[in-house]
Amino acid sequence: MTVRNLFLLPGDGIGPEAMGEVRKIIAYMNTAKNAGFVTDEGLVGGSAYDAHGASISEADMAKAMAADAVLFGAVGGPKWDAVPYDVRPEAGLLRLRKDMQLFANLRPAICYPALSAASSLKPELVEGLDILIVRELTGGVYFGEPKEIIDLGNGQKRGIDTQVYDTYEIERIAGVAFELARTRGNRVCSMEKRNVMKSGVLWNQVVTETHKAKYSDVQLEHMLADAGGMQLVRQPKQFDVIVTDNLFGDMLSDVAAMLTGSLGMLPSASLGAPDAKTGKRKALYEPVHGSAPDIAGRGIANPIAMIASFAMCMRYSFNMVEEADALEKAIANVLDSGIRTSDIMSEGSRAVGTSEMGDAILAAFKTLSA
Ligand code: IPM
Ligand code: MG
């Protein structure tokens, strides 16, 4: 039987509650479908800091590196606001991304028909929305050196972050965007700030050259990232695939997420390069939402982004395409049936908590995959 090793890092806040709903689906896949998922679990973020004084332990880091896929919940919360910068909860996530070399972050923003009224935009602007943001995840200002606060000695300090991109980093993320575009609407919009930033000038050049050399069948457009943000809220359906750097991708994906009704809906996949020998990619799957400390532990969090992240995991790490399709369809069916967690609640729907939503999706998934 195939063994599929999953390493679960539920993290902080609503992370563990959301992960609990994914566990139910994994258990069902194993008993009913012989899926062979073997799970191990570790700590990341504030919970790791409380246990080990680090945002992820070396032992858990090694397990993440060895797993076929990592499922990640969320990190952070006010409890850890004052911990040293190097061991803040987010450092655990950033280390996972960097050490596993997960340079390609796929953030789909899909508006489920049942939720078009939950968007802050008019329903007709978001109905049928299907965008994929491809965010560069291991470079740019997140990791560039120097990164420090220095004392200027005159009563002033200077905070420094460095935005830096090399050709190969832009080439490989552009390649991922073009390849994915071919499986969808065949259009890529690249976003940077070439009018202000040298890294933006290079980004624009390399994307253009990569397109010309290998992907001229795909339609390519360039947009300044600020204009891109504006277009995302003005006419979001004009986009198919958006490729952008780490920081712009962070912001634009939050904007895109909100178009779909709630941050609680959106999954993401972070992928490395395929291994030269095995063809396997290192991968981490996480919801776009954060730890939502204000609602943590109350059983009301929306588990859909976490469950949809597991669907992406089946699709991209295990090529379980039918199962992934069925799980995504199960989510859509449950929303059609009119139940809602509080973040996506609308008039005429029935409010449910985290586990009731998870159970309903599991039941729909069972029906679809029977
Ligand atoms: C995200 C998050 C992270 C980021 C934080 C938690 C470090 O906002 O995944 O979008 O900035 O990348
Ligand atoms: Mg973010």
Pocket of ligand 1, candidates 75, 86, 88, 90: which has the most ligand atoms within 8 Å of its Cβ, to mutate? 90
Same domain, 279 and 367: yes
pLDDT over 90 (residue 114): no
Same domain, 43 and 66: yes
Closest atom of ligand 1 to CA, residue 250: 10
> What pLDDT score does 307 carry?
98
Catalytic (active site) residue 254? yes
Mean pLDDT of 206-221: 98
Burial of 359 (0-12, 13-18, 19+ CB in 10 A): middle
- The closest alpha carbon to 270, from 250, 256, 252, 255, belongs to 250
The string of pLDDT tens digits covering residues 221-243 is 999 999 999 999 999 999 999 99
What are the tokens at 143?
A: 């990791």
Distance CA 206, CA 298 (A): 48
Pocket of ligand 1, candidates 81, 94, 161: which has the most ligand atoms within 8 Å of its Cβ, to mutate? 94
Distance CA 271, CA 313 (A): 10
Ligand 1: which residues within 6 Å by Cβ? 90, 93-94, 250
Final residue of a structural domain among 271, 302, 320: 271
CA 136, distance to chain mean position in Å, is 12
Same domain, 39 and 116: no
Q: Domain tally for the chain?
A: 2
pLDDT over 90 (residue 263): no
Question: Is 261 annotated as belonging to a binding site?
Answer: no
Same domain, 310 and 296: yes
Report the range of poorest mean pLDDT among 62-71, 118-127, 131-140. Answer: 118-127
The string of pLDDT tens digits covering residues 61-81 is 999 999 999 999 999 999 999
Same domain, 22 and 37: yes
Final residue of a structural domain among 271, 288, 321: 271
Q: Considering every ligand atom, which ligand is closest to the CA of 245?
A: 1
What single string gives the DSSP state of each residue in 139-180? SGGGT-S--EEEE-SSS-EEEE------HHHHHHHHHHHHHH
> Could you give the strand order of the β-sheet that contains 283-287, starting from the edge strand earlier in sequence?
37-41, 4-11, 69-74, 283-287, 267-271, 104-110, 130-136, 241-244, 187-192, 219-224
Final residue of a structural domain among 222, 243, 271: 271
**Active site residue: 60, 68, 240, 250, which one?**
250
> What pLDDT score does 1 carry?
74
Which residues are within 8 A (CB) of 82 and not within 5 positions of it... i.e. 6 or more apart? Answer: none
Structural domain including 224 reads 105-271
Number of H helices, E strands in the chain: 12, 14
- Quick count: other Cβ atoms within 10 Å of Cβ 101? 15
Residues of the chain with pLDDT > 90, as a percent, come to 91
The answer to whether 103 and 137 are in contact (CB under 8 A) is yes
Length of the chain: 370
> What pLDDT score does 47 carry?
98
Same domain, 259 and 360: no
- The closest alpha carbon to 112, from 320, 338, 289, 367, belongs to 338
> What pLDDT score does 220 carry?
98
Pocket of ligand 1, candidates 81, 250, 270: which has the most ligand atoms within 8 Å of its Cβ, to mutate? 250
> What pLDDT score does 113 carry?
84
Same domain, 140 and 243: yes
Can you tell me whether residue 206 is helix, strand or coil? helix
Same domain, 111 and 93: no
Closest atom of ligand 1 to CA, residue 76: 6
Mean pLDDT of 41-60: 98
Distance (Å) from CA 107 to ligand 2 centroid: 11
Question: Is 245 annotated as belonging to a binding site?
Answer: no
The string of pLDDT tens digits covering residues 291-345 is 999 999 999 999 999 999 999 999 999 999 999 999 999 999 999 999 999 999 9
CATH code (residue 173): 3.40.718.10
The string of pLDDT tens digits covering residues 154-206 is 999 999 999 999 999 999 999 999 999 999 999 999 999 999 999 999 999 99
**Active site residue: 68, 193, 215, 316, which one?**
193
Same domain, 294 and 251: no
Q: Count CA atoms within 13 Å of residue 257 on its CB side.
A: 21
Same domain, 237 and 113: yes
Catalytic (active site) residue 193? yes
**Active site residue: 226, 275, 280, 336, which one?**
226
Same domain, 28 and 162: no
Question: Is 10 annotated as belonging to a binding site?
Answer: no
> What pLDDT score does 366 carry?
98
Same domain, 259 and 300: no
> What pLDDT score does 76 carry?
97
